[in-house]
Structure 1
Amino acid sequence: MDTAKGSGALDEALERLHTSGPERLGRLTNHAPMVVEALAAHGRSRSVHRWLDLYEPKLEEFPTSVEPVTDTNWPTALGDPRRAADWIAYFSRALAEQPWRDLLAVWWPRLLPGMYGGSTHPVIRVGHAVRALVDSEGSGGSGPRLTELAHGLGYWAARHRPVSGIALLPGASGAGDSLDAVPPISEPRGGFPDRLARVDRLPAWAAGVTDPDEAERRLTELVRAATHRYATHGHGEATMLVHAATAPNAVLRTLPALPRSLWVPSLHAAWTASAAVTSMYATADPVPYVSPGRVTAEEVVERALAHGDEHVIKLTDTAVDVGDEQALAAALRAVELSEPLR
């Protein structure tokens, strides 16, 4: 296994990807920036370009600009997917003028209420970008990684979509029990936006949390519970249920780069996202899943890489963060349930 956190392979891959748009086929997400960062973070930098060669036919050209986003007109551009190029240009300019943590502190609370747009992929992309930047600190920084943060934030701003009108139900004390208590939507059909519009009831888990340290602890608990749950419930929708774990994990890995005052609202938004995905793609009957023998994190990463599917690799990335046997079993379950990249 090669060491990758300081490797130039990730920067080269990001430069290669920044000529492509954040989406394809109208609204499907370009997962490549997230996957190459995950591979590099887990010591697979030598595989980054080989994987990207397989994925490259799915990439589309960078979108055209409509009108520049500015410090005064940005509210009117928020949530307009036609403005993705404008938003990416805006954040690229801003990151050239100020430290990335300062920019993130300003824009995280503006974007957080709309983390549900783009099937939660924008916040996930930002989480990967933040980890890459943190890993490069002390080595002079990285232009491609700053550009990647601009692309992630720009995609988030363009797909910004708040949710409202959700009735709060009694929640259980634990994240796992509260996810089990999430009611399914009334008509489970259509794509992510249609299903999201039908989410109207969710348990009020962690609603009373006000302490930042407790928020971090609860968010860690949520990521673990959602990852564990995939092992027994992933068959309900092998691809989309991945986001019940990867979206809150993107928020969790971003917390250290944020002011502590933003940790509590981050927890609440992450819970809503995880619970909403659980509601949208609920399955009535869990299926017991036993890992085929004891495996190491390194072995699971190798299996995910050999499989190649972008969601499998990203769930594996989160499962390794969680680090226990049930989490690794969830990653192996994703390998079984998903179509491999060819």
Structure 2
Amino acid sequence: MDETRRQDQVRNGTLDEGLARLHRTGPEFVGWLSNHGPMAVEALVRRGQGRRVHRWIDAYQRRLEERPAAQGRITAENWRARLGDARYLTDWSVFFRERLAERPWPEVLAEWWPRLLPGIAGGATHPVIRVGHAVRVLLTDGSTEPRVAELAEGLGYWAARHQPLPRGRTPLPTGAADPAAALRAVVPVADRSGGINHRLGQLAGLPAWERALPTDPTEARRGLAELVRAAAAYYAGHAHGEPVMLVHAVTAPNAVLRTLPALPPALWRESVGAAWAASAAVVASYAPPGGPATPPSGASLDAAEMFDRAAEHGDEHVIKLADTLWDLWEADPDDPLPGVAARRAVELVTPEG
């Protein structure tokens, strides 16, 4: 991917125009389905596919709905009582737009990240993923009104859908075990008849990912990167169980990884623990009962080929997964896993329409 081309697409307004279009719609549609538009648009521009953005939005917007009506102002006095109350989806977004107009965005993020982190599973992990995309563009390309507004939308969505996992079932990593082995040790929930909320409610416990992670930023980032790769490997072998929902076992911890540079060091270890809990909870909810399958072999893809296939496929989950897999490819261009996992998503996810 030509970095100059991506920067041109940022400068010519493609990203901001796309975000502004999508901010006219609500964060959900058809009940609980999350609006992935801003995340996919950010990924398309990031990976040099800005030419597809407006055409992609044209198609995707037909599925979206208007922003829900406001229900009551969120304040410093009542926010705790309204945390996790989806009736206030719009009010939470307004609240964060106001906070971000008053203070620099890193200060608002640092204040609210530890408040929201226990509810990382809320909205099927989509809110933290949306925040991760928003933070990445703010860190990399700077602040504009639509980009700050997108952070407000992500934080507001997270607050409205805040859903802690059952008490005592989000163990922090300690010790020294492989995250891939820890994911394989996750026990699937028994009743698959409902959606993710029903499944998360059945969790009897999550195995600890036994790895010591000091607050040193290099070690925290290395540990999270290991978790993301382990989750991608799990996806490659288990995606046949639920090729859409298992994407979030990979993209949720990567969203946390992308956010770490904007956070105070005191929050890094807590963030790694929450990222593990999110990934393990998704695996527990959607692991295939028959165990892993052998991914099909094929020629290894480089990052640009991998993302081109995802963009051509068009599904928002496939695009976001390929974007995360690109991060893995950048860490090790000789690693075949990113191309294998991306090919798996393209094969198994049915495009809308």
How big is the shift at 1:211? Answer: 2.7
Alignment of 1:81-230 (within 5 A): 81-137=86-142, 141-166=143-168, 173-206=177-210, 208-213=212-217, 214-230=219-235
Give yes or no for the alignment of 1:336 onto 2:347: yes
Contact 1:171–1:203 under 8 Å retained in 2: no
In the TM superposition, residue 94 of structure 1 has moved relative to its aligned partner by 0.8
Question: CA 1:303–1:340 in 2, change beyond 3 Å: closer, same or farther?
Answer: same
Shift of 1:210: 3.8
Partner of 2:332: none
Equivalent residue runs for 1:288-307 within 5 Å: 288-307=294-313
- TM-score, normalised via structure 1 length: 0.95
Give 3-state SS (helix, strand or coil) of 2:102's partner: coil
Distance in 1, matches of 2:248 and 2:175, equals 21
| C-alpha spacing 1:166/1:240, structure 2 compared with 1 (3 Å) | farther
Q: In the alignment, does 2:11 pair up with 1:9?
A: no
Q: Which structure 2 segments of 5+ residues have no match? A: 330-334
2:320 is equivalent to residue 314 of structure 1: yes
Q: Is the 8 A contact 2:174 2:212 kept in 1?
A: no
Name the CA distance, whole Å, in 1 between partners of 2:145 and 2:185.
44
Alignment deviations for residues 87-109 of structure 1 (CA, whole Å, 9 cap, x no partner): 10010011111100010000000
Q: Secondary structure at the match of 1:155?
A: helix
Instruction: Check conservation: 2:84, 2:159, Cα contact below 8 A.
Output: yes
After superposition, residues 216-255 of structure 1 pair within 5 angstroms as 216-255=221-260
Compare 184-193 and 148-157 and name the one that shifted more.
184-193
Deviation of 1:163 after TM superposition, in Å, equals 1.1
For residues 239-270 of structure 1, what are the alpha-carbon distances to aligned partners after superposition, in whole Å with 9 as ceiling and x for unaligned?
A: 10000000000000000010011110000000
* 8 A contact 2:182–2:207 mirrored in 1: yes
Q: Could you say which residue in structure 2 is the equivalent of 1:61?
A: 66
C-alpha displacement of 1:68: 0.7
% identity of equivalent residues? 53
TM-score (norm 2): 0.92
On the 8 A contact 1:31/1:310 being kept in 2, the answer is yes
Q: Deviations over 1:206-229 (max 9, x none)?
A: 465343433222111000110121
Q: What stretches of structure 1 of length at least 5 have no aligned partner?
A: none
Q: Distance in 2 between matches of 1:116 and 1:327?
A: 24
How far apart, CA to CA, are the structure 1 residues paired with 2:100 and 2:44? 25
CA distance in 2: counterparts of 1:152 and 1:291, whole angstroms: 37
1:188 CA drift (Å): 2.5
